[in-house]
Structure 1
Amino acid sequence: MMVLGKISRQLCSLKKLPWSCDSRYFWEWLNTVFNKVDYERIRDVGPDRAASEWLLRCGAMVRYHGQERWMKDYNNLPVGPLDKYKIQAIDATDSCIMGIGLEHMTGLEHVEKIKLCKCHYIEDKCLQRLSQLEKLQKSLLELEIISCGNVTDNGIAALRHFRNLKYLFLSDLPGVKEKENLIQVFKTALPSLEFKVNL
């Protein structure tokens, strides 16, 4: 509730946009607000709860260990002991997650699957930052990247740092040009990886 209060105060203080601006700039600003990292919140409720709030606020879904149901409603996030609900899977389809928000994932230790589909703000720097998160490097087993137009070969190549990755699916990524080169990169770095490419 406190997070939403901060956001509503920021919205109320928003100055009138000049006539030359169109609504895209407003939505980009608003999405940036949704992605802002609140380190106090992470400290107070733990990384899994704070990351869940961030992801759902941005339109993504999460699934916790031991549960089959996907959480997609921010207002229905489970309550209880802070260490009880550990994120196992993230589906960020059509979400507004951005690179600045990825710091929410620093403390996540149990994420095994991530799906990034139609994530317009995800670009190479985001994937490079994601692949540097030590705890995620150990836990992530499956990754899908679909229809993310700002991703290129450089961003995909960085994913080789997920040393326990078992499955990687890439589809509809117009910025990825060197498919055969990427296949070789992953064969060398992760020989047991199941690598499916539909570019």
Structure 2
Amino acid sequence: MLRQRSTRMIFKQIFEHGTDYRSLKTKVTNSFYDNYEAIVYFIQYLRNRHLTVDKRSESYGKFSYGPPQGMYFKVEAPTVYDFLSLRLQYWWKRQKENYQEYVETEQYKKFVTLGPDLAAAKFVLECGGKIRFKDNDEWLDKTKRDKILKLPEKYDESYVLEELDLSEYPLRYEHLYFIFNLYYLKTLSFKGCETINDWFLDKISAEYPNLEQLDVSECKNVTERGLEALYRMPNLKKLIITNYRGTAAFDLTCFMLEEVNPFLTCQVQQPKYKTITDK
């Protein structure tokens, strides 16, 4: 009983007082893993702690200050740490990211009632991308305002998005659902997008069952770990990528994808400028 009680007290101190720099004795650690009741208590404590953190009271946000008059989004004030460490450039970067997130959300809210295809099409056009509808050979972009204005303002099932190009646009991971539910999409391009990484590839690999061509070339944050998830795309026929790190595992992953999908061809490009590989 004393052994169990001491174990509970030690792990309670760790999570309540944050004693990260205090070393635990090996005997106490071993006693915890051998004690089933202590493990059950510890798991229940974590669950209760998780519920307490996620739980929002009725008065949550009651005294929060909104954006200043004449502004649409809340601006985060620089902290003392930002001034003392000369990190104002990072603070300003966060403000621009917050503004970009606000713009993307407000844009999509205007188009969400049009259905997934038209909503995604108008959102991509507002972001400077290009789209092409089914049974239409012409690509649409911002320069063709007259044809964009002719797009319906209500849901129309005849408008099916077939190709989408968001090259060099910093799409956020939280806003990926803006271009989801496009079940007839065949071509998708994220060429040169700095925000595209392994998490993105893992997420989109299960969202486009009929995708035939994927372009993630010049995306510096894409590695072989993200490519492994593309086996979920059975209809993928062409994959355009760039091996920035020049690793053999990258080429091996492409080879394995072609083995899993005999109709797939991986077009591996070499970077214009070599990057330093991680050690």
State TM-score, norm by structure 2: 0.59
| Aligned counterpart for 2:101 among listed residues 12, 32, 43 | 32
* 1:59 corresponds to: 128
* 1:191 corresponds to: 262
Change (3 A) 1:193 1:127: same
* 1:90 corresponds to: 164
Conservation of the 8 A alpha-carbon contact between 2:164 and 2:189: yes
* Structure with more strand by fraction: 1
Q: Shift in Å at residue 104 of structure 1?
A: 2.4
Q: What is the aligned-residue identity percentage? A: 20
Matched, 1:160 2:220: no
| Aligned counterpart for 1:174 among listed residues 244, 261, 265 | 244
Change (3 A) 1:67 1:120: same
> Which secondary structure state, in structure 1, belongs to the residue aligned with residue 156 of structure 2?
coil
Q: Distance in 1 between matches of 2:246 and 2:120?
A: 29
Q: Distance in 2 between matches of 1:106 and 1:176?
A: 32
Amino acid at match of 1:122: I
> Which secondary structure state, in structure 2, belongs to the residue aligned with residue 55 of structure 1?
helix
CA-based RMSD: 2.8
Change (3 A) 1:14 1:187: same
Q: Distance in 2 between matches of 1:189 and 1:11?
A: 52
* 1:100 corresponds to: 174
Instruction: Say how many residue pairs are matched.
Output: 186
Large movers: runs of 4+ above 6 Å: none
Structure 2 residue runs of 5 or longer lacking an equivalent are 1-68, 271-279
Comparing both chains, which one has the higher relative contact order based on Cα–Cα distances under 8 Å and sequence gaps of 6 or more?
1
> Which secondary structure state, in structure 1, belongs to the residue aligned with residue 222 of structure 2?
coil
Higher CA-based Rg:
2
Conservation of the 8 A alpha-carbon contact between 1:59 and 1:94: no
Conservation of the 8 A alpha-carbon contact between 1:35 and 1:97: no
State TM-score, norm by structure 1: 0.79
Structure 1 residue runs of 5 or longer lacking an equivalent are 1-8
Conservation of the 8 A alpha-carbon contact between 2:114 and 2:156: yes
Conservation of the 8 A alpha-carbon contact between 1:153 and 1:176: no
